[in-house]
Amino acid sequence: MKRTHSFSIGIGYWVCLLCIVGPGQALAQPIPKLVLGSVTSSDGTPPLTNGLVFTAYISTRPVDQLTQESTGSGVASDGTSTFYFVDCSRFTNAPPWQVGEQLVVEMTNSMNGEFARESIVLTTNHPQASANIRLQSVPVPPQVTIQPPNLTLSQGDTVVFQAVVTTGTSPLSYQWRFMGTNLPGMTDSTLTLTNVQSGQAGAYQIEVTNPVGKATNTATLTVLVPPAILLPPAAQTAVVGANASFTVSVTGTPPMSYQWSKGGTPLADGGRISGAITADLTIASVTTNDAGSYAVTIANVAGATSSPPVSLTVNLVPLPPTIVLSPSNVAVTQGMTATFSMSASGTAPLSYLWRKESAPLTDGGRISGVATAALTITNVQYSDAGAYSVLVSNAVGTTSSAPATLTVLCSYALTTNAAQFGWAGGSGSVGVQTGGGCAWTVTGATNWVAITSPSSGSGTSTVAYVVQPNYTTNSRQALLVLAAKQFTVTQGAAPADQPIVQVIEPTTTNSFKTLFYRQVGLVEAIVRVANPSGAAQPALVLWIEGLPAGVKVWNATGTSNGVPYVKYNHPLAAGASVDLHIEYYIADGRTVLNPTFRAQWTPADPPFTPQGTSVVVDRKVMLTNGYFLIDFMSVSNRLHYIQYSPDLSAWTTVLPGVTGLGQRMQWLDNGPPKTINPPASATNRFYRVIRVP
């Protein structure tokens, strides 16, 4: 259904395409008028209702002679207004225009930055000409301001900054920053900070983005901190005629104002008094009338505070120094700052000398204030621990404070906070860094991450660990705690579609275990095959590749394209593994082996029951390594099959059979792939030998 709409022009951008067409040639006669036709909504959105303003061109010249001569304008309201030509706002094509030329113009909309989706069709009463205007969307990048742009308030107040977007196409996204760093989670148009502290003062920036651009704006937050007294004035003792002074140390937002008072009465500079409105008050040539209680009030724009009153004692004769307040014990973590402070009385001037373990200190490096009532040590190290005291002297005596102990608490750091391993696992280490004598432990070891050495200690050390193979198709993570620091071990999942092969023995090349006697030339390797899939597998085949000449797999099930293999003809449960014992015959007893292995799931062979004669087993013995040995007399060139059973009822045949040599032969049960599991793990196992005729 078609509907007629009105339009207006304002803020935001539109593009209007105007096309004048003819029957293939320039029009020879003037176009008397163009009539605005109906407007059709192309996607079902509500029409704009506040009207489009058009400028009309009145001309009797052919279209190819038209220029931008505006002689009037009007508002289209119901599609019946008459216009001779239409100019939306500004043509990008320079006149004169040619017949059939596409004229691109711009126009604006004051609504809300949304774009029109309607097409406007204009028709002329001339049968050979028509004009078409199409509105296309042009996205608008954002513009933003912050309200208020700058804010000053007191510590503990609440701050609210509002991002005001003056224009911009939706969707809009927001990110607040402080001093150039993103504030996590602050992605709304409003930023609220509660209980602000001095450390939060600075520049806050908002970045607003949309699909076509971004805009930023910055506001400044100033936090006013009320004054706080760091070091209050100390009581003073002076003799008549000497000078007396009081000093206060404060922190807070400058500027600070000071007002000293005596007995609650404000003091003013003049005569013997100076510094009455500074941090340092001086009374020259004191008399007995100057004795009394003194205090100072400090104020700034954020508040005010007063020091506790302290006394000035005026004596007729000089007094030696006396310790009023000894320094207190201090305990800080390595790298922090330690401060000792004290106060003393006596006839001024007083001199100070701080000592460690009775040895005088000097200013420099990390130490300052050696000749004052406050000693400061920055970046404290373990070597700074000890007893500190101060000598106070004047013209008539010297005294020492009681010692105060500096304790340096242990701090710990790890050389790395995480380690990543593949499914096969492996070994790793992590360093613990701390001071000598600082004890630490390791906790959180799991059944697949084992600490090998050490699990506790003191001072800087290295912790070694082993990560076991992951035979599952899920990655896993373990969290260890070393010296109160977290250390994360992450291990990847095993491949889900193939068996996983891992050599258990030998641990180094060619360090094989000897079977029987070294002179026989038989050695053994153990290869673990795991099932990482989510289902049991019926059986598996393990190929042994890369064997040098003169070496054969003694217990091979068979060969495929010249490559020997063993078959484990038993099911393997999901997530389970089996250790296969591979026996090698090395003719010269010296050849170095470094084979490779490849495993594959395979269907299980059906049970095989040989028909033949039972052979007497002459000797049977359990060896110290858990293997089981049997002896029997063989017949030359005849197959002999060994069978085993848990109950003398259900017998399993070991494949392949053994070809007799016409002499006594030995057969060793060392577990898979010959039998389902090692003989030492079986509750009962019986053996018999069947000779096939």
Location of structure tokens 């599609």: 79
Give 421-462 pLDDT, tens digit per residue: 998 889 999 999 988 778 999 998 888 999 998 899 988 999
DSSP characters for 194-233?
-S--GGG-EEEEEEEEETTEEEEEEEEEEEE---EEEE--
- Between CA 134 and CA 106 the distance in angstroms is 11
Flag the least confident range among 58-67, 383-392, 636-645: 58-67
Full set of structural domains in the chain with CATH = 13-137 (no CATH), 143-224 (2.60.40.10), 228-315 (2.60.40.10), 322-409 (2.60.40.10), 413-491 (2.60.40.10), 500-602 (2.60.40.290), 613-691 (2.60.40)
Closest CA to 499 of 462, 467, 466, 538: 538
What DSSP designation does 63 have? G
Flag the least confident range among 44-53, 190-199, 398-407: 44-53
Q: Is 65 helix (H, G, I), strand (E, B) or coil?
A: helix
Q: Residue 505, Cα to own-chain centre: how many angstroms?
A: 40
Give 641-655 pLDDT, tens digit per residue: 999 999 999 999 999
Taking phi first (over 0 means left), then psi (-120 to 50 degrees means alpha), and beta for anything else, what does residue 481 get?
Answer: beta
Pairing of strands 404-409, 330-333: parallel
Kindly report the pTM of this predicted structure.
0.38
The residues facing 434 across adjacent strands are none
pLDDT score of 498: 78
Q: What is the CA radius of gyration of the chain?
A: 48
Does the pLDDT value for residue 665 go beyond 80? yes
Flag the least confident range among 29-43, 291-305, 504-518: 29-43
Dihedral angle computed from the Cα positions of residues 383, 387, 393 and 399, in that order, rounded to the nearest 10 degrees: -160
Alpha-helix runs per DSSP H in 326-434:
none
Q: Is 518 helix (H, G, I), strand (E, B) or coil?
A: helix
Flag the least confident range among 5-9, 40-44, 261-265, 464-468: 5-9
Q: Is 519 helix (H, G, I), strand (E, B) or coil?
A: helix
Give 604-635 pLDDT, tens digit per residue: 999 999 999 999 999 999 999 999 999 999 99
Kindly indicate the confidence band of residue 513, based on its pLDDT and cuts at 50, 70 and 90.
Answer: confident
Q: Which two tokens stand for residue 251?
A: 């922190």
Closest CA to 613 of 632, 599, 595: 632
Give backbone dihedrals phi and psi of 650, rounded to 5 degrees, phi first. -95, 115
pLDDT score of 527: 92
Comparison of pLDDT for 98 and 478, the residue scoring more: 478
Q: Which two tokens stand for residue 70?
A: 């505006």
Q: Is 289 helix (H, G, I), strand (E, B) or coil?
A: helix
Q: Assess contact for 163 and 234: CB atoms under 8 A.
A: no
Give backbone dihedrals phi and psi of 113, rounded to 5 degrees, phi first. 85, -5
Please give the average per-residue pLDDT across 12-22, as a whole number. 32
Pairing of strands 310-315, 236-239: parallel
Alpha-helix runs per DSSP H in 561-682:
none
Give 363-403 pLDDT, tens digit per residue: 999 999 999 999 999 999 989 999 999 999 998 899 999 99
Q: Is 17 helix (H, G, I), strand (E, B) or coil?
A: strand
The residues facing 311 across adjacent strands are 293
Comparison of pLDDT for 324 and 102, the residue scoring more: 324
pLDDT score of 520: 61
